[in-house]
Structure 1
């Protein structure tokens, strides 16, 4: 079953589809670091199928370079990752390049979701600024809001049996709901019925509360439908999830696992015996922030009251601003005794105050690897780029376990129903 991944990012959606036996015809992504992440992950899957994974682990240990790794992989596989911005102007050459890979085959499914910032709460603040400029007679808008049109161009051109379109809940209320009406109308125009649901990643075994709109569409006249997902949950607490990763201080990095035996759920979904620990890297923190981190940890664990630290309760000598009325929970720990964290966002790339590790002795924000586990990326998934870039890739991704659950149910329909036309 062939699929195309649009706005691929680091490949969270693709991870789930590849693990269900789908073949990637193309990944299209404009960020160079994410492109290399995709290529490195495809290298992993290729070497795994050819029983040569030792070369992949040599790369993770720094024993060979990335170029040496890529030289072991067929160029036609790496070339399915296309480093290009998606726009009306780039469509002709994108179609031409993808058609060479297809060699006359059809596309079964298209997946992806345009950048969600324009629809998020943070994006709304930008929209207000844009509106103020427009009121002054300045023509300005957030062009990312209209990238769904390019997505529909792909649907119209390749006519896949189904598609998956992922985005934030704010998509439904953008521009007072008018934007969603326009999106549905265009999907209808290019020949697709659709249904959407607000799904939570925690119902797919992800250790995180993360609500997303998942739109699934199918060619008009076929007998596909929105799948029913049986809820499943993580069988471990967040302490269990992270406990086998070594204790480190702010600014430190470790490439060796601790002696703590990983939880059974971690062994099932995250860590294999041969895995090499990468990106267990913590950002630096000054003494003031660490003191606040300890206050946040103590506030949660003392007397098991499970309370969040409010900024108004931070001693004045530790505050960096006077505003105690808004964003009062800006320092937030990942609770060790719960099964789910709050949502991991791309903002984690800017500061870690919203993602504080629960260990009082460490008093730091999450490492890159810890954030990746909250997003359900396995430890053998290697991210390319700087720490800031990788945090952004993780925060923007679709959790792989969620993607895997979606892909599994769609595969059943594609195999059993075959897109039969309803009389």
Structure 2
């Protein structure tokens, strides 16, 4: 392997001696990407996260007891050199080998293709442009740390956002900086995650490290619902157009699931072993009450419930074991809706839920009149009863607002919106008749049971929904680690000179 001079050379020599690649996680959230990379053998050196609660979660899980790591950081306000000095992680040019994470798509897409190039060439000219701030800050970190590899993640629409293909533009900028780069769409269900989550991933390597990009081969098989294919086609619109017109691009079709692969992990395999929370019974007993939900009460595992291979993996994840039980098995207080949930069938959405609610209202109205109560149509009593049973949302405008999960299929995408309400993931078990708990959401994202979320229930839901599933991150990290393993082709003389210099 031909080495470059300077920082890249020194990093490659260090890795050739068997050292772990060091990771800087930008826009880290609570640490889904970090966890997958750690599991693959990377060292989580530092992170940048603006949300105080998410920053606290990341620090608690990857640098426990280090209060500096829990400080929220705004990437537009903290210069790379300041980060390095504050954390004491060494020379900025040699402190980090890999940068993972990526800015929100708005940081790129509102700028436009031509301006991306202008920003790249004349960053100071756009210092006060709010649309370019996150993008310039991100490029500033890449420039300052000179990582050997980069991984970015975003929603599929970033490939067709505001009429242009953001990852393609990013690849072009990175190629100008000495990287080989490619991007694709991956669905988490193909990689052992019990969730059909589709995301764009971009990988870049310094040309001194690799000459081509590969994405992980699927480990599981699944037939995705039709909606996923149509959404992917929309996201790929600009890539398809570029292909048809003969224009080059850096998109690589995702590897296909071939051979005798096991079926995707189902919702029941993911959460079926967790202790039951029968919401209606809990409500009657006064256990379930209105108020903030803290994540500080231990819930012991139920030894009578069988744990799947996936569930055992979540319980036994190295350094994140939870032998005694879990502390975040808490649910929303939704007294109006528990009975509706119990009547819904798996796959039902809000229109079906609304019909069940109307049926329940008619039943209650009939019972009241049979007791001799005089409740006339449109009377205050009539309206109060209706309001106490029937949700207020227009069933013709919000068909996807509610969904009852399928038991024997991966869950739909876990979103950050869970921090506001959880109707998108109603538990498949009608006896429990509730939305999923914080720990169930974490399981569906493949967070191990010993992973701790700071804050209260809503904040935990938001962190989980914003994260990259750790098992998908692990698959990507393993593939990227293969490139680092090839650094061992350095000569013994080079290794000796590096050790001597160190």
**Shorter-chain TM band:** 0.7 to 0.9
Query: Using a 3 Å threshold, how does the CA distance of structure 1 residues 150 and 273 change in structure 2: closer, same or farther?
Result: closer
Partner residue, 2:271: 242
2:479 aligned residue: 409
3-state SS, counterpart of residue 328 of structure 1: coil
Match of 2:403 in 1: 332
Q: Evaluate the alpha carbon distance shift between residue 190 and residue 314 of structure 1 in structure 2; reply closer, same or farther with a 3 A threshold.
A: farther
- 1:110 counterpart residue number: 99
Please give the alpha-carbon distance, in whole angstroms, between the structure 2 residues aligned to 1:17 and 1:399. Answer: 11
In structure 1, the partner of 2:333 is 284
Output aligned runs, 1:290-301, within 5 Å: 290-296=338-344, 299-300=345-346
Q: Which runs of 5+ in 2 are unaligned?
A: 1-20, 111-127, 221-262, 280-287, 290-296, 359-385, 491-502
Shift in Å, 1:179: 4.7
Q: Distance in 2 between matches of 1:13 and 1:188?
A: 24
Cα RMSD of the aligned pairs, angstroms, is 3.0
Which of 12, 16, 24 is the aligned partner of 2:44? Answer: 24
1:131-280 equivalences under 5 Å are 143=130, 147-177=134-164, 179-180=166-167, 182-220=169-207, 222-233=209-220, 236-250=265-279, 251=288, 255-259=299-303, 260-271=305-316, 274-280=323-329
User: Counterparts of 1:268 and 1:2 in 2: how far apart (Å)?
Assistant: 25
Answer yes or no: is the 8 Å Cα contact 1:216–1:226 preserved in 2.
Answer: yes
Query: Which string of whole-angstrom CA distances, capped at 9 and with x for unpartnered residues, describes residues 76-99 of structure 1?
Result: xx5455521111x42255344268
User: Which SS does the other structure have where 1:327 is aligned?
Assistant: coil
For 1:86 and 1:115, the matched residues in 2 are separated by: 12
Gaps of 5+ in 1: 45-69, 124-140, 301-305
In structure 1, which of residues 281, 299, 310 is the aligned counterpart of residue 351 of structure 2? Answer: 310
For 1:279 and 1:320, the matched residues in 2 are separated by 27
Aligned equivalents of 2:350, 2:87: Cα separation in 1? 54
What TM-score does the superposition give when structure 1 sets the normalisation length? Answer: 0.76
Distance of aligned partners of 1:43 and 1:6 in 2 relative to their CA distance in 1, 3 Å threshold? closer
Instruction: Give the Å deviation of 1:231.
Output: 0.7
Q: CA deviation at 1:142?
A: 11
Cα distance in 1, alignment partners of residues 156 and 442 from structure 2? 22
- Residue aligned with 1:197, SS: strand
What is the CA deviation profile of residues 336-357 of structure 1, one whole-angstrom value per residue up to 9, with x for unaligned ones? 121x100000001111111111
CA distance in 1, matches of 2:159, 2:86: 31
Q: Partner of 2:162: helix, strand, or coil?
A: helix
Q: Is the 8 A contact 1:246 1:254 kept in 2?
A: no
- On the 8 A contact 1:119/1:170 being kept in 2, the answer is no
Alignment CA distance shift 1:116-1:378 (3 Å): farther
Say how many residue pairs are matched. 360
Paired residue for 1:86? Answer: 75
Partner SS, residue 204 of structure 2: strand
Q: Which moved more, 1:11-20 or 1:270-279?
A: 270-279
Distance in 1 of aligned mates of 2:463 and 2:145 = 28
Tell me the distance in 1 between the aligned counterparts of 2:322 and 2:447: 16
Is 1:38 the counterpart of 2:58 in the alignment? Answer: yes
Give 3-state SS (helix, strand or coil) of 1:392's partner: helix
**Distance in structure 2 (CA, Å) of the matches to 1:23 and 1:162:** 14
CA 1:404–1:322: 2 relative to 1, 3 Å: closer
Structure 1 residues 270 and 361, CA gap change in structure 2 (3 angstroms): same
- Judged with a 3 Å threshold, the aligned counterparts in structure 2 of structure 1 residues 116 and 22 are, in CA distance, closer, same or farther, namely same
Q: Provide runs of 4+ in structure 1 moved above 6 Å.
A: 117-120
Alpha-carbon distance change, 27 to 100 in structure 1, aligned in 2, over 3 angstroms: same
Instruction: Tell me: CA distance 1:185–1:328, structure 2 relative to 1, closer, same or farther (3 Å).
Output: same
TM-score by length of 2: 0.65
Structure 1 residue 165, shift from structure 2 partner: 0.6
User: C-alpha displacement at 1:118, in angstroms?
Assistant: 7.6
User: Shift in Å at residue 226 of structure 1?
Assistant: 1.9
Residue of structure 2 aligned with 1:391, choices 442, 446, 461: 461
> Distance between the aligned counterparts of 1:116 and 1:199, measured in 2?
17
